[in-house]
A and B are shown apart, each in its own frame.
Chain A
Amino acid sequence: MRRIFLFAAWIGIALAADPIVKHPRELHFPPSEFIAPKAADYRHKLSNGATAFLVEDHEFPLIDISIMIHTGGYLEPAGMTGLAQLTGSQMRAGGTKSKTPETFDEDAAFLAAQIGSSVSDVSGEASLNCLSKDIDAGLALFVDMLRNPGFDESRLKLAKSQMLQAIGRRNDSTTSIEGREFQRLIRGDKHFTTRPVTKASLEAFSRQDLIGFHDRYYYPANFVLAVSGDFDTKQMLAKLEKALAAWPNRDTAIPDPPRSEFTPKPGVYVVNKKDVNQGRVQMGHLGVALSNPDHLALSVMNGILGGDGFTSHIMERVRSEEGLAYTARSSFGAGTYYEGIFFAGFQSKNASVAQATAIVIEEIKRAQDTKPSVDELATAVNRVVESFPLRFSSAGRKANQFAYDYYTRLPEDYWEKYRQRLNAVTPEEVQRVARKYLHPDGLVILAVGDAEAMLRGNPDRPQYSIAKLAGDRGVVRIPLPDPLTMVYPVE
C-alpha cells in the first residue's frame, strides 16, 4: 500500500517564494557551531591501571568494546616474524583454557556476539560487539579470550598453513609487489616494517612462543579501552572493574617502535610483471614525524598537490586532463613514532607510465615554484575544517578517536586547537614547507608492470620515456624474490 504525505509548512512557502540562485556561491547558510568533545570528560582509570573511554548512545541496543594493547610486530624476537600476528589471531581462533575452539565459537555465534583479536605492526587490538541485553555473557567470553587464550595446537597448525599459502601469493598481484618493494626502497630491509614472514620464520616458533608473547603484553595496565553504545556509564565501569579484577600487571617497560637507520637511494626502479596491461607507480621519500610543528601546513600543501582528490593538481592533470589514470594522488605522512613517508602514485596503461610519471614530477616541482592561490588554499583548508565534526559524529567514533589519541600520546589540546591552526596557514607557508620538505630530485620512483612495454612508452608521445626520467643513474631492475624464502635472485 502506498501512502503519500504532503507537507507545506510556512518555512516551505517562504523558501519556495525565493527564486533559485544562479550559482551556489550566492547561497547563504546558517552558521554551525561545533565544539570538539574533550577526551578527559569521558576518560576513566580502572583500579588495575587500564584506561577506558566510555561514550553512551542509546539509539540501538548494542554495545561495542575495542581495546588497544601496547604491543606489536616490532617486539617480535629476531627470526620469528609472524609470531605477533599469529598470537593475535590465535587468541580468537584457539579457544580458551576452559573452552575448546568449537565451544567458544559456538557460544559466541549463538549470542550473535562479534569477537575479534589481532596484532599489527605497532599495536594489538581486541573487540566485542553484542546486544546490550547479552553484555554479561559477551563480556565474560571476551575477557576469557583476552586473559586465558587456549592457543589450540591444531588451530595453530591450520593458521600456519593458511599463512604459508598466503605468502605464496606475494608475487601474484602488482599491488602487493608495489607495496612491498616501495617500503623496502624507503625503509631498507632491516626495519620491522619490511621484515618478511617466511617459511623458515613460521617454523621457528611454536605454541609456547605464542603463550610467552601473550603473557608479556596482555595485562590491564597495558590496555586502552573504547566503550560505546547502550549502557549506563556507572554500571558499565563496575562491570569492567569486575571483569578485569585480580589480573596482575607487569612492570616491563615497552619501548616505542624504532625508526629505520636506512637512507633511501633516489632513482628509477622497475619490477617486471608480464601479462598485466597496466603499470603501478609510486614515487617518494621520507616525510616528517607528527611532532614536527610544520605537519599541518604540510597536510594542506599535500591536499593541494595530490591529497584532496579531484580538486588536487595531480588528479586534475593525470586524470581529468589527460585520462591517464583512474586514481592519482599523493600523501605526506606524519609518522606517530618516526618520519612517515611522502609518496605520489597512480596506475596507468604500460605505454603511458612514463608520461604520467613526468607529469607528477612536474606538479611536485610546481608546488615548490609557485605559491597556491588564496582560493586553492581556502578549498584545502575548508575541506578539513568544515568536515571536522564528522570525526566525532557517533559514540563509537568518539570513543575510538579518544582511545587512539591516548594510545599514541597525542597532545591533549590537539583537536581543540586543530581548526585554528589550520585556518592560520598562509600561501607563503604552504610554499615554504613545499620547498623545505619536498625533494623532486631525491625521489625513489618505482614502476611495477610489463617492463618492456613501460620502457617502450607511447609512440604518440615520444618526448616521455622511463630512461629519460632515470637519467645517468640508469633504470634499476628489481627481480621477484622467491615468495616463501624472500631470497632475491642475483641477476
Chain B
Amino acid sequence: MIFRTALLIFFLLPSLWAQHVPVQEVILDNGMKVLLVVRKGSPNVAAGWVAKVGSVNEHSGVTGISHLFEHMMFKGTQTIGTKDIEEDLKINLELDRLKAELRKEEQALAARLRQGEITDVKDPKVRSPRHQQLLAEFDKLNARQRDLLVKNEFDKIYTSAGASGMNAATSEDFTIYFVNMPANKLELWFWMESDRLSNPVFREFYTEREVVAEERRLRSDSTPTGRFLVQFDAMFWKSSPYGWPVVGWPSDLDAITRQDASEYFGKYYAPNNLTACLVGDFSPDQAIALARKYFGRLQRGASEPEPVRTVEEPQYGEQRMSGEADTNPEVRVRYHTVADGHKDEPAFLILQALLNGRTGRLYKSLILEQQVANSAFASHDGMKYEGYFQFMGVAKTGKTPEQVEQAFYKEIEKLKTEIVPDRELQKVKNEQTASNFRRLESGFSLMEQLLMYDAYRGWRTINTDPPLLQAVTAADIQRIAAKYFAPDNRNVLVLNRKPSASAGGAK
C-alpha cells in the first residue's frame, strides 16, 4: 500500500485565495483524476465530473452525438430504470433492428427526393406499405418497453435525496455533469455516477433523438437570429470541426444509432479521459476512499483519445454574409485569433475588457459620441484548438449596420496606431483583481470552473492565468491588434429587419 501525507496547507488566509485555489488532486489507478476543495460551513457539496470530449471530436455523419449522448446518460443503467433488465435489453436489440430497416426505407425516400420525385420525406403518403408496417411495429415495441421502465428512476433517486440542480452541458470541447448534494449524502453521488459510467443503458434512445430535435428548434431554429448564427459559424470555419453546431446537423441527428453511442462511450468516457471535482464541507480522506471504491471500478480505456486532427485552414480573403431576420439591424465582425492558452490570449482578454462596459471604448465611442449604435460589445472566444475575436453591434434607429461596421474599424485603427493610456489599462486590471475573488464565491461555480480549466489545459491554470492578465502591456495590445485584425482575416455578418406585417415601426 502506498501511503503518503500531503504537505498542503488547507487553511489559507482568505487573501491568498485570489492567487491560489487550494485544490487537492488525486489520480486513481485507472487514470481518473479527482479534485477536492474543502470549504467549511456549507451544508452542500457541489459535485461534478467532466469528459474531455465535445462536438470538436465528432466527424461528418455523427455531428451532435456528444450532446445526444449527454442526454442518454440520464436514461439509467443495468440496475437503475427497469424492472426486467434482460427483457429490456432484448427489446433494445429488436428496436435497433427495426430502426435499421426503417432507415433503409428513409434512404430510399431520400433518393427519390434527390430525383425530385417527391417533395417531403416526412409525408405519410409517400411511405411504402412496408415502411408503414415497420412504424407500427416500432411503436408497439416501444410501448412494451415503456411498461418495463421504472420511469425516470435516475432523477427520482437524486430528487428524493434532496440533490438539486442536477444537469449536464455539452460544448465544443467538453461535456460536464453536475449536481448539488446534501453534505451527508456524498456516497450516493459516488454510487450513482460510477454506476452510470460503468454500465449505462441507452434506453428510449430514439425518443430522445426527438427531444434533442425539439431542443434545437427551441434554442436555434425558432429564435429570431438562431439559424443565421449557425450558418455564420459554418462560413467562418472552413475546415475546423468547430464549423458545425454542438447540437449537430439535423440529418445526422435523425440517423445516429445506439451502436454509434456505444462506440462513442467506449472511446471517450473511459476514466483516463475524465476528471471529477467536489467543492464543499467534507472529509477529504473519506472522499478519496469513496473515489477509490466507486470510481475505481471503472476500466481504463485501451488507448488515450487522439487529439483532433483537422486544423483550420488559413483565410485568404474577407468573407461576408447578409440576411434578413426578425431583428433590429445588427452587425458582427469576427477575426480568427488564437486557441485557449496561447501566449497572446491574455492580451485579447484585456482588450475585451477595455472595449466593454459603461466606461469601455465601444460604449463611449459608438453609442455616446458617434451615436451610431444602441449597443455594442466585443468578446474573445479561445477554444481548445482555435479561437476568434468578435465585435457585435446593433445600429441605432436610422443608422445602418454598415455604419456600425465602419465605426468598429475606426476603433481597431486606433488600437493599432495609439498606445492605451496607463490609467485605462490599470482600470481593467483592477476589475480583474476583484473578479478573481468574485468568480470563487459560489462553490458550485468553482466546481464547474475547475472542471472546465482541467478540460482545457489542466486545473492548475485557474491559478496561473490571473498573473498573466496582470502582466499584459499596452504594447501587447497594439501588437495583437496589428497582427490579427487584418481585412483578409475578417468575417462579417450583416442582418437587417425582414419586412413583414409584424415588423417594428408604426404604420
Question: Which residues on A are within 8 Å of B, measured CB to CB?
Answer: 3-9, 11-13, 15-16, 20-25, 27, 29-32, 34, 58-62, 93, 102, 105-106, 109-112, 129-131, 158, 161-162, 164-165, 167-174, 199, 230, 273, 276-278, 308-311, 315-316, 319-327, 347-349, 378-379, 382-383, 385-390, 392-394, 396, 459-460, 480, 482-485
Please determine whether B214 and A6 come into contact, CB atoms closer than 8 angstroms: no
Please determine whether A11 and B286 come into contact, CB atoms closer than 8 angstroms: yes
Count of chain A to chain B residue pairs whose CB atoms are closer than 8 Å in the complex: 266
Give the shortest distance, in Å, between B118 (CB) and chain A (any CB).
Answer: 15
Question: Which residues on B are within 8 Å of A, measured CB to CB?
Answer: 1-4, 6, 8, 14-15, 17, 24-27, 39, 42-44, 74, 79-80, 123-124, 135, 146, 151-152, 155-157, 159-164, 180, 182-185, 187-188, 191-192, 204, 206-215, 217-218, 221-224, 283-286, 288-290, 292-294, 297, 326-328, 357-359, 367-368, 374-375, 394, 396-397, 423, 426-427, 430-431, 433-435, 437-438, 440-442, 501-507
Please determine whether A273 and B502 come into contact, CB atoms closer than 8 angstroms: yes
Give the shortest distance, in Å, between A116 (CB) and chain B (any CB).
Answer: 11
Give the docked Cα–Cα distance between A325 and B357 (Å): 37
Residues from chain A with Cβ under 8 Å of B374 in the complex: 161-162, 165
Residues from chain A with Cβ under 8 Å of B442 in the complex: 394
Give the docked Cα–Cα distance between A21 and B44 (Å): 24
A161-B396 in contact given A22-B79, A278-B214 (Cβ < 8 Å): yes
Please determine whether B214 and A390 come into contact, CB atoms closer than 8 angstroms: no
Residues from chain B with Cβ under 8 Å of A277 in the complex: 217, 221-222
Residues from chain B with Cβ under 8 Å of A11 in the complex: 283, 285-286, 289
Closest B residue to A271 using CB positions? B502
Please determine whether A5 and B162 come into contact, CB atoms closer than 8 angstroms: no
Give the docked Cα–Cα distance between A253 and B431 (Å): 41
Please determine whether B222 and A276 come into contact, CB atoms closer than 8 angstroms: yes
Give the docked Cα–Cα distance between A230 and B441 (Å): 12
Please determine whether B293 and A15 come into contact, CB atoms closer than 8 angstroms: yes
Q: Would you give 21 A-B contacts (Cβ < 8 Å), ordered by A?
A: A7-B6, A9-B285, A9-B289, A12-B292, A16-B293, A24-B188, A61-B15, A112-B430, A131-B433, A158-B367, A171-B504, A172-B326, A173-B223, A174-B222, A319-B211, A321-B146, A323-B210, A323-B211, A325-B211, A386-B160, A386-B161
Q: Return the contact of B14 from the options A61, A322, A378, A389 (Cβ within 8 A).
A: A61
Closest B residue to A164 using CB positions? B397
Q: Return the contact of A386 from the options B14, B17, B162, B207 (Cβ within 8 A).
A: B162
Please determine whether A12 and B285 come into contact, CB atoms closer than 8 angstroms: yes
Please determine whether B214 and A379 come into contact, CB atoms closer than 8 angstroms: no
Residues from chain A with Cβ under 8 Å of B155 in the complex: 309-311
Closest B residue to A322 using CB positions? B207
Give the docked Cα–Cα distance between A249 and B88 (Å): 71
Please determine whether B2 and A6 come into contact, CB atoms closer than 8 angstroms: yes
Please determine whether A326 and B14 come into contact, CB atoms closer than 8 angstroms: no
Given A9-B285, A164-B397, A323-B209; 4 other pairs, CB 8 A cutoff: A4-B27, A7-B285, A130-B434, A131-B437
Closest A residue to B428 using CB positions? A109
For the complex of A and B, list the 4 residue pairs with the smallest distance between their C-beta atoms, beginning with the closest: A386-B162, A12-B289, A168-B504, A323-B210
Please determine whether B221 and A382 come into contact, CB atoms closer than 8 angstroms: no
Give the docked Cα–Cα distance between A8 and B163 (Å): 28
Residues from chain B with Cβ under 8 Å of A327 in the complex: 218
Residues from chain A with Cβ under 8 Å of B503 in the complex: 171
Closest B residue to A109 using CB positions? B359
Give the docked Cα–Cα distance between A366 and B221 (Å): 34
Residues from chain A with Cβ under 8 Å of B26 in the complex: 4-7
Closest B residue to A376 using CB positions? B156
Give the docked Cα–Cα distance between A93 and B363 (Å): 12
Residues from chain A with Cβ under 8 Å of B433 in the complex: 112, 131
